[in-house]
């Protein structure tokens, strides 16, 4: 659920800021979405670090 929220937030950021750097900002949404799709096959101990890494990636891209 947190990853879905992160994807939604990144998509909203793209809508507001995407005109400045569309290729970079679209990846702010696609990266956490990719994590969301592979999460079921990851060991559960990798879920939180994966969420944390996805959040950090989105924050860095949007901040840039």
List, for residues 19-64, the tens digit of each pLDDT value: 777 787 888 888 888 998 999 999 999 999 999 999 998 888 888 8
User: Which whole number is the average pLDDT over 5-31?
Assistant: 81
Q: What is the pTM for the complete model shown? A: 0.78
Give the residue carrying structure tokens 């096959």: 41
Angle value at C-alpha 34, between 16 and 11, nearest 5 degrees = 10
pLDDT of residue 21: 75
Most confident of 1-5, 11-15, 49-53: 49-53
């Amino acid at each position: 659920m947190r990853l879905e929220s992160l994807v939604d937030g990144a998509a909203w950021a793209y809508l507001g800021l995407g005109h400045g750097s569309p290729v970079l900002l679209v990846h702010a949404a696609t990266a956490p979405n990719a994590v969301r799709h592979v999460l079921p096959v990851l060991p559960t101990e990798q879920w939180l670090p994966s969420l944390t890494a996805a959040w950090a990636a989105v924050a860095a891209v949007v901040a840039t």
